[in-house]
Amino acid sequence: MHPNIPVIYEDSQILVVDKPTGIISEDLPAGRQVFLAHRLDKDTSGVIVIAKTEEVLANLQEQFRGRGVKKEYIALVHGKISEFGLIDAPIARNPKIYNRFVIDKAGKLAATKYEIVKQFDGYTLLNCFPLTGRTHQIRVHLKYINHPIVSDSQYVGRKIYKLDVVWCPRQFLHAAKIGFNHPETGKWVEFESPLPEDLKKVLWTMFSYNLQ
């Protein structure tokens, strides 16, 4: 296990951890015979579920495929969003830049719901609920509606990124909650990761806002 990773929950079937920013998801189970049920981008913090057996992994992956897993993210985006919404737009790998993704009608189906937490002058704090699990999904979808995530080095644009990182040193995207049916008991379980101190500091310093 990667050192200094907070454990949210653990039993004989699953391990739920709170991934800090700057760590690759694949590095989390290093040195242990366990399996990632899903992944977060390197600069995204938050809750990740790890399966302890291949059978548990198969169970969780089937729940992901069947959209039975509920996920909630917190994102700070550029611009003022005035109402909740649904972004339903297929995503494909960018043919020109391998590690980026774009909206493409020939891509894989992708859908993200979002709701407003707080509006600021020129920015909006959102709760995002990805209904599918495409790579970079929330980031690409929010850029698509012209509200890219603050300090997103790949999708906000080079000039804006340079301005963003002055006051928000990393991508403002956090995996706050996840819920699914426990692979052994079948009972619904939910796990949470509070907003990290670095992102809380951004909200307080920039907007004098304390997320409860």
Q: What is the pLDDT of residues 130-171, one digit of tens each?
A: 999 999 999 999 999 999 999 999 999 999 999 999 999 999
Instruction: State the total domains in the chain.
Output: 1
> Within a 13 Å sphere around the CA of 174, how many CA atoms are in the beta-carbon half?
21
In a domain? residue 196: yes
- Answer whether residue 83 is part of any domain: yes
Mean residue pLDDT across the chain: 95
Give the range of the structural domain holding residue 42, as residue numbers without chain letter.
7-207
In a domain, 2, yes or no: no
From the candidates 18, 27, 41, 198, which is the catalytic residue? 41
Dihedral of the CA atoms 96, 98, 101, 103 (nearest 10)?
A: 30
* Residue 27 annotated in active site: no
Q: Report the CATH number at residue 111.
A: 3.30.2350.10
pLDDT at 31 over 90: no
C-alpha to C-alpha distance for 177 and 181, rounded to whole angstroms: 14
Give the pLDDT of residue 4: 76
Is residue 1, in this structure, part of any structural domain at all? Answer: no
Q: Is the distance from CB of 112 to CB of 138 less than 8 angstroms?
A: yes
Is the residue at 212 inside a domain?
no
Say whether pLDDT at 3 is over 70.
no
